[in-house]
Chains A and B, each alone.
Chain A
Amino acid sequence: MHGLWLYLHFPKLQMDTLYHQQDLQRPVVIVDAAVNAVVQYNTQAYQAGIRKGMGLGHASALCQSLQVIPYSPDITHKTLLDVAQWLYLVTGDICPFQPDGLLLRIHTMLSLYGGLEGYWHALNSHLQSLRLHYHYATGPTPQAARLLARYGWDQRHQDADVHQRALATVPLSNTDLERKTIHSLARVGVKRLGDLMALPLNELAQRYDHTLVTYLGRIKGSFQQPVSFYQPSERFERYLELLYDIEDINALLVPVAQLLGQLSHFLKLRDQLSEEITLVLHHRDAEPQTVIVRSAVGEYRLTAWQTLCRLKLETLTLEAPVYGLTLKGGHAYIRQPDKQDLFSGQQGALSCLQLVSQLQARLGEDAVFQILPGDDPRPEYATVQHAPLRPMQLKAPVSDHMALLRPSLLLTPPKPLTHKVTLLHGPERIATGWWDNQAVIRDYFVGCNGRGEWLWLFRTPQQQWFIHGLFS
């Protein structure tokens, strides 16, 4: 097989994403806690003597002012796919090698760019804008390219001999071979790939399992490397340029409906539902405005999304005239048949979920919540606000005989007690909450006043009395 492959190795993917966010003058390392080893570092850390694979203790002994960031496979994973998506604009066949490499099949691209140099120029300048650290190498096989790139060869050639010579110098410790195999080979003096490739394959097969032979075969090209190419994601995203600038919200509803129709069509074709869409309003002279519209229940119908969008947009003030719209579909999933039946007890035309969706669209995401009992002993913190209608883990209910006496109405803030009461029950002392600096010390009582009201009272250490609640 006479192919040509290019491999891009990104050794500091997570570090590079940080670089954009903040100007890092301090030494920074990224540590994989699972193996307690430094996996990435910046220049300052390198200058302090920190190297890949060091333990955190060793690294911090070398450098006092070290900033440590935990390694995140998610960030790396996502960034790699972003890079792939970006490169997809200039090159066709991309295969991501998680967590830090991209393999490109380039012999199919060379004629388009007029040869290797032209291709590399286009690719490299396109890649530069991402400001990532990378090593690269060409190779006759995917494995050869990967190996050379990870070794930091940083060269491109079409000549097979050049590749062979380069490969021969690579130390085995830089290969993907198992540590055990590398160690065992070193003990017979085989330390570089050249030494290894010089050994007859049958001799190796008598001593090592097939992974070594397969690996070597893939480097040489005698075995095929299975490669699966990247496909851009099938997510709905459409841009609509308006014919004229729109300043009135109501006038926007028409083009929005047009986009929603496309979305609805898109979802219907795939038999999918979406719970969220994002509408970006592009302004002529200002930053674009983003509107997120959610539906508590997955939806694909044009009418439903139209209603939600109308409600959402009614609360919106346009910051500037709009010249274009982008609609992005959120997470979409396959539609399940509705479970509505005669006996589900639903009343009215709207389901709870639909009602919540409409309320949220009108009042704002955070304005609708559900109150649940928490377990903080301080009355002020005894209820928690929870997203509506989402299942939550309820603690085992307290058995009746251990339930505490609590009023249904709580006064916030508590009112000073100004009239005579008769104490009927208590005290219950609550003295806790030191951890968040909202400590309370109070003695709670149940009392009854002249008007027959049952009050929940407390006394402070300064002997001041307050009404904190009313029993029904």
Chain B
Amino acid sequence: MAVSYSPATMVYPRVVQLIHVTVFFMQYAELFCQSNFSFLKGASHPEELMRQAHFLGYRALAITDECSVAGVVRAYTEQRDQQLAVQLIVGSLLCMDDLQCVVLCPDRQAYTELCRVITQARRRADKGSYRLDLWDWRTLRHCFLLWLPSLQPERDAHWGRWLSQHHRQRLWIGFTRWLDGHDAQRQRAVEALSAHWDLPVCACGGVLFHHPERQPLQHIMTAISHKQPVDQLGEALITNTERSLRSREKLATLFPDRWLQASVDIARRCQFSLDELRYEYPAELIPPGHTPRSYLRTLVEAGVQQRFPEGLTQNIRDIIEKELRLIHEQNYEYFFLTIHDIVQFAKSQHILYQGRGSAANSVVCYCLEITAVDPRQINVLFERFISKERNEPPDIDVDFEHERREEVIQYIYRKYGRERTALAATVICYRFKSALRDVGKALGLAETQLDYFIKHINRRDRGLDWQTQITELGLDPDSHRGLQFIQRVNELMGFPRHLSQHVGGFVISAGPLYHLVPVENAAMPERTVIQWDKDDLESLGLLKVDVLALGMLTAIRKAFDLIEQHQQRVLQIADITRQDDDPDVYAMIQRADTVGVFQIESRAQMSMLPRLKPACYYDLVVQIAIVRPGPIQGDMVHPYLKRRDGLEAVEYPSKDVEQVLSRTMGVPIFQEQVIQLAMVAAGFSGGEADQLRRAMASWKKNGQLMQFKHKLIDGMRQRGYSEAFAERLFNQILGFGEYGFPESHSASFAVLAYVSSWLKCHYPVAFYVALLNSWPMGFYAPAQLIQDARRHDITVLPVCVNQSDWDHQWVEHEQQQAIRLGLRLVKGVSESAMKQLTVQRPKVGFKDVAQLQQVGLSREQLEALASANALHTVHDNRYAARWALMDTTSTLPLFKQQHQLFLFDNAPEPMADMLEDYAATTVSLKHHPIRLLREQGMLPKHICASTLHQHPAQTVVTVCGMVIGRQAPGTAGGVTFVTLEDDTGNINVIVWKATARAQKQAFLNSRLLMVRGILERGDGGVTHIVAGKLERLDHLADGLAGKSRDFH
């Protein structure tokens, strides 16, 4: 028998071998296929659909999600990266009442049209839905339409006439065979319509999943969207597995040849590919007479004058030239100019900002004032810029003051218009809990049962996977339902649920954005998002500008303002970093005296500071990156410490590796180093390294990292590295996972860490006041910051209606600098009311309560002030003051007659007074619960925080304190770090899992805690107590409202 090869095998010689059995069958292109970006409808990822279509030897696959192109980039990336021999067609299913069409894009014009129609339909409706109107259909002048008749004769007659009139030559009737009992009827209808309107017919699948095995998941998703269990859905469920990608052999028996051929003919005419999309930057950035290149050059030279007034070294000049050349070659001028424009706006408004990311650490960015990382500060040479061969897009995130970021966003909208700018999307995916809950409900499990599962399963427990744990909780894994439950949850995890907005990634374009990608409404009014997320944009080489919010910048700006106001010293971030490393500042950092300081203030960071002893800027860069789950899980911290202290030799298996790792003592700490290692040691190409980087970012989600294992280890072995070294590196990469921290970000964070430390060291009052006025931000609550300030011998003055403003203030008090607490600390008062109070406050202050009442504040506001004892200058008893204010019947000055009440004859007891302080302001300046209890003899014999250092290590000690923090990092192997505060300082307690479990009640419930345990002193003198016995002391101070901040 002669083998006749169809033409398609000539086009794709690479796959001939794979499909040589199937070449006898007709060619086929699937033109109607929905991915899981048709939320709760499609049951396969776009990538799975592409791979399966390739496997089945399809000519092409159209991803046609309902009124969306959100999934196409993923399909495109899969096709490109895996070099699949199946063509991707971009399309969408559009429905309007009884009119349903699959719309396909033959060319760029058609694509633009589709994006515009989707945008209009989406913008008309609420988030998550869409509404088409007839006009939209009429404006589709280039798209191909695959009409899916409704089988209602009158309606089909109507639409047949309308469609043939408006879309002839680009119109087919789509015929589906689903073996659902209606095939014959559909075929009759399609043939009749075809004959009557003279329209061609095309076979299509209406595919919802790539493989029959996904049918149960599709049922589950149908159940989720109907909010009913699967077994009650009946006819709402599809009855067989025919809506999968089917073999061409099978298709050949189902459809006449000519209808299959029609699909291939259409596919052949669809020439549009996503790689045609090019970003067109807004032109208005370039002044007349300039090219982007010349304008960027002009700006950089101007920056050089300002940043390097004393002139440039040749070395830095060379770097600048190299960077400008790279920017030009990659065509990134507009990107830098856009960011420059935004930061210039911020600068003009005195909004503090700081750029970060690989490209941000360039000298060009320093000159453009995007960052303050002085290149001379960093004496270690590291890869400071976009790497051309790594094929990464330039990455610049700009952080702005968190209280003023909105101004920047409004500027962008104003400048470019709402048509031309939108936020990138974030695809919200099913995670473990949501998947478990929704699958459980769909299978008819009781909600209390599901709650119970969710609350008891510890996903952090690496020893036990969730399937095992749920079995222990009583789900029978061998029962049919148990098995289904586990399988379906596993499948559903990682499925997209809906689009949300990215925290601050803006896409700005030259023309309307909907020429490039559909835009839809975000949940926030007046915000719009595009249908692609940041990975999609990156895949297509489109750039986004990240406008992010950072509380520390607000605090630093406020500190600068205070210093200027009080000491007439004008400061900028760059002024501080330009100075040499300040030994006083580093001495403070090495003491771990870093409460409130950016990034290096957490328990974990603070316990590492005395060991790492950072002494220069680059040490801080390492410090910030090393105390992260990535390096900790990859076991990089201890080797680094040992090598730094000279306890372990630093060896490199090769020169190449030395070059990559020498700045971190041979231990990979940064994400960039891992990528570079893969390139120099395992021979990864630039593109592969980029894939590796992305796989690292999302490997928890999809486990794609494992596919690099062989390549990495084989590559390294071929280049003469030992298997052990290769394995270790791979494990480090796994440990890094999504937590891997890039050096480029760490470098910018280190600047802020240094600046905030510098402020704490030299202008402590300004530092604390600024932090408190920027709250909520950072790691510590105001109460803890205030206690820290007092431990630094700063006088803190109480809230007072006659002295305080809304904000906390830097004041002179008895010839000393002091902090006057602001009214913002009082719970239950509003900013506007307090501003009204301070505006109307007489110069000499309020003399009595009656005068205060005349300000016209609401009773609640005044009562809150009374309880906070802010009226202490006009009334000595906070209870009595509040009681008087509560009177509704009279606003007359009736304070004189109040004292007859015996109840208020005496001021509150110290304990009650303290409780009121905590209830009203979360902090007490006069009392500390531990001191009060100690004075009343209610505490067992114990040691204070301040004297802990006098006790020898390895002895048993007892401490008492208020629990101000519980932190259980996922990396700490079940250890919880508890921070206790007594009247003299903070005490670090380590609670092992077994201890916590055995004494759960005390561990979980206590606000006041007594701990008996072993005092340990580690490297650098870090003292902590390993808890043995925990005892709850809450009953001693009933009603203590101080809440600890719990991290689980």
In contact, B240 and A432 (Cβ under 8 angstroms) = yes
- Partner of A195 from the list B181, B212, B237, B903 (CB cut-off 8 Å) is B903
A58 is an interface residue with CB less than 8 A from chain B:
yes
Q: Which A-chain residue is minimally distant from B898 (CB atoms)?
A: A203
- B443: A residues at CB distance < 8 A: 435
Q: Which A-chain residue is minimally distant from B454 (CB atoms)?
A: A57
In contact, A49 and B1001 (Cβ under 8 angstroms) = yes
A447 to B216, CA, bound (A): 31
DSSP class of B's interface residues: helix, strand, loop or mixed? Answer: helix
Selecting from B139-147, B196-204, B788-796, B886-894, the interface stretch reads: B886-894
Known: A189-B908, A206-B889, A431-B239. A405 touches B181 (CB 8 A): yes
Q: Within residues 176 to 204 of chain B, which ones have a CB less than 8 A from any CB in chain A?
A: 179-185
Q: Within residues 184 to 222 of chain A, which ones have a CB less than 8 A from any CB in chain B?
A: 184, 186-190, 195, 198-199, 203, 206-207
A244 is an interface residue with CB less than 8 A from chain B:
no
Selecting from B121-129, B228-236, B339-347, B708-716, the interface stretch reads: B228-236
A425 to B184, CA, bound (A): 8
A427 is an interface residue with CB less than 8 A from chain B:
yes
Map CB proximity to B onto A61-80 as digits: 1 under 8 Å, 0 otherwise: 11110001010000000000
A63 to B481, CA, bound (A): 27
- B290: A residues at CB distance < 8 A: none
- B904: A residues at CB distance < 8 A: 188-189
Q: Which A-chain residue is minimally distant from B480 (CB atoms)?
A: A437
User: Chain A nearest CB: distance from B451 CB in Å?
Assistant: 6
In contact, B219 and A435 (Cβ under 8 angstroms) = yes
User: Chain B nearest CB: distance from A172 CB in Å?
Assistant: 12
Known: A62-B1004, A206-B889. A374 touches B234 (CB 8 A): yes
- B882: A residues at CB distance < 8 A: 187-188
Q: Within residues 1006 to 1048 of chain B, which ones have a CB less than 8 A from any CB in chain A?
A: 1039
B135 is an interface residue with CB less than 8 A from chain A:
no
Q: Within residues 394 to 408 of chain A, which ones have a CB less than 8 A from any CB in chain B?
A: 395, 398, 401-402, 404-405
A436 to B233, CA, bound (A): 13
Map CB proximity to B onto A361-389 as digits: 1 under 8 Å, 0 otherwise: 00000000000001111000000000000
- Partner of B240 from the list A61, A398, A431 (CB cut-off 8 Å) is A431
In contact, B151 and A402 (Cβ under 8 angstroms) = yes
- B181: A residues at CB distance < 8 A: 404-405, 428, 444
- B903: A residues at CB distance < 8 A: 189-190, 195, 198-199
Q: Within residues 850 to 891 of chain B, which ones have a CB less than 8 A from any CB in chain A?
A: 863, 867, 879-880, 882-883, 886-890
In contact, B180 and A376 (Cβ under 8 angstroms) = no
- B484: A residues at CB distance < 8 A: 434-435
In contact, B448 and A432 (Cβ under 8 angstroms) = no
In contact, B215 and A402 (Cβ under 8 angstroms) = no
Q: Which B-chain residue is minimally distant from A208 (CB atoms)?
A: B886
Q: Within residues 330 to 349 of chain A, which ones have a CB less than 8 A from any CB in chain B?
A: none
- B902: A residues at CB distance < 8 A: 198
User: Chain B nearest CB: distance from A274 CB in Å?
Assistant: 34
Map CB proximity to A onto B457-495 as digits: 1 under 8 Å, 0 otherwise: 000000000000000000000001100100000000000
Q: Which A-chain residue is minimally distant from B1000 (CB atoms)?
A: A62
User: Chain B nearest CB: distance from A81 CB in Å?
Assistant: 26
A305 to B882, CA, bound (A): 73
A377 to B456, CA, bound (A): 38
In contact, A62 and B886 (Cβ under 8 angstroms) = no
- Partner of A188 from the list B185, B883, B1005 (CB cut-off 8 Å) is B883
A165 to B550, CA, bound (A): 58
A429 is an interface residue with CB less than 8 A from chain B:
yes
- B647: A residues at CB distance < 8 A: none
A57 to B455, CA, bound (A): 6
Known: A199-B903, A428-B179. A435 touches B1004 (CB 8 A): no
- Partner of B239 from the list A190, A206, A377, A402 (CB cut-off 8 Å) is A377
A207 to B185, CA, bound (A): 78
In contact, B215 and A434 (Cβ under 8 angstroms) = yes
- B912: A residues at CB distance < 8 A: 189
- Partner of A56 from the list B183, B237, B451 (CB cut-off 8 Å) is B451
Known: A188-B886, A429-B179, A435-B219. A64 touches B456 (CB 8 A): yes
In contact, B901 and A199 (Cβ under 8 angstroms) = yes
- A33: B residues at CB distance < 8 A: 447-448
B641 is an interface residue with CB less than 8 A from chain A:
no
In contact, B1001 and A68 (Cβ under 8 angstroms) = no
In contact, A401 and B185 (Cβ under 8 angstroms) = yes
A430 is an interface residue with CB less than 8 A from chain B:
yes
In contact, B887 and A207 (Cβ under 8 angstroms) = yes
A206 to B889, CA, bound (A): 6
B916 is an interface residue with CB less than 8 A from chain A:
yes
- A154: B residues at CB distance < 8 A: none
- A68: B residues at CB distance < 8 A: 448, 451-452
Known: A188-B883, A199-B901, A377-B239. A435 touches B230 (CB 8 A): yes
B242 is an interface residue with CB less than 8 A from chain A:
yes
- Total interface residues on A, CB under 8 Å, equals 49
B976 is an interface residue with CB less than 8 A from chain A:
no
In contact, A430 and B151 (Cβ under 8 angstroms) = no
Q: Which B-chain residue is minimally distant from A429 (CB atoms)?
A: B179
In contact, A429 and B448 (Cβ under 8 angstroms) = no
In contact, A402 and B230 (Cβ under 8 angstroms) = no
A42 is an interface residue with CB less than 8 A from chain B:
no
A165 to B903, CA, bound (A): 18
B241 is an interface residue with CB less than 8 A from chain A:
yes
Q: Which B-chain residue is minimally distant from A200 (CB atoms)?
A: B901
Which of B235, B481, B867, B904 neighbours the largest number of chain A CB atoms within 10 Å of its CB? Answer: B235
A459 to B276, CA, bound (A): 50
User: Chain B nearest CB: distance from A210 CB in Å?
Assistant: 12
- A276: B residues at CB distance < 8 A: none
- B237: A residues at CB distance < 8 A: 377, 432
Q: Within residues 198 to 222 of chain B, which ones have a CB less than 8 A from any CB in chain A?
A: 212, 215-216, 219
B616 is an interface residue with CB less than 8 A from chain A:
no
A308 is an interface residue with CB less than 8 A from chain B:
no
B975 is an interface residue with CB less than 8 A from chain A:
no
Which of B451, B867, B880 neighbours the largest number of chain A CB atoms within 10 Å of its CB? Answer: B451
B286 is an interface residue with CB less than 8 A from chain A:
no
- B901: A residues at CB distance < 8 A: 199, 203
In contact, B235 and A375 (Cβ under 8 angstroms) = yes
In contact, A436 and B239 (Cβ under 8 angstroms) = no
- B1005: A residues at CB distance < 8 A: 49
Q: Which A-chain residue is minimally distant from B446 (CB atoms)?
A: A70
In contact, A60 and B456 (Cβ under 8 angstroms) = yes
A199 to B863, CA, bound (A): 19
User: Chain B nearest CB: distance from A59 CB in Å?
Assistant: 9
Q: Which A-chain residue is minimally distant from B880 (CB atoms)?
A: A188
Which of A64, A377, A404 neighbours the largest number of chain B CB atoms within 10 Å of its CB? Answer: A377
A34 to B853, CA, bound (A): 41
- Partner of A435 from the list B216, B456, B880, B916 (CB cut-off 8 Å) is B216
Known: A49-B1000, A49-B1001, A377-B235. A188 touches B879 (CB 8 A): yes
Q: Within residues 973 to 987 of chain B, which ones have a CB less than 8 A from any CB in chain A?
A: none
Q: Which A-chain residue is minimally distant from B867 (CB atoms)?
A: A187
B919 is an interface residue with CB less than 8 A from chain A:
yes
Which of A187, A189, A436 neighbours the largest number of chain B CB atoms within 10 Å of its CB? Answer: A189
A255 to B419, CA, bound (A): 90
7 shortest A-B CB distances, which residue pairs?
A: A375-B234, A49-B1001, A429-B179, A428-B181, A431-B240, A377-B239, A437-B480
21 contacts between A and B (CB under 8 A): A56-B451, A56-B455, A58-B1004, A61-B1000, A68-B448, A187-B879, A188-B882, A199-B903, A206-B888, A374-B234, A377-B237, A395-B235, A398-B235, A404-B182, A428-B181, A431-B212, A435-B219, A435-B230, A435-B231, A435-B443, A435-B484
**Residues of A at under 8 Å CB distance from B?**
31, 33, 48-49, 56-58, 60-64, 68, 70, 184, 186-190, 195, 198-199, 203, 206-207, 374-377, 395, 398, 401-402, 404-405, 425, 427-432, 434-437, 443-444
Given contacts A33-B447, A49-B1000, A62-B1001, 10 further A-B contacts (CB under 8 A): A63-B1000, A68-B452, A187-B867, A187-B916, A188-B880, A203-B901, A432-B237, A432-B238, A432-B240, A435-B216
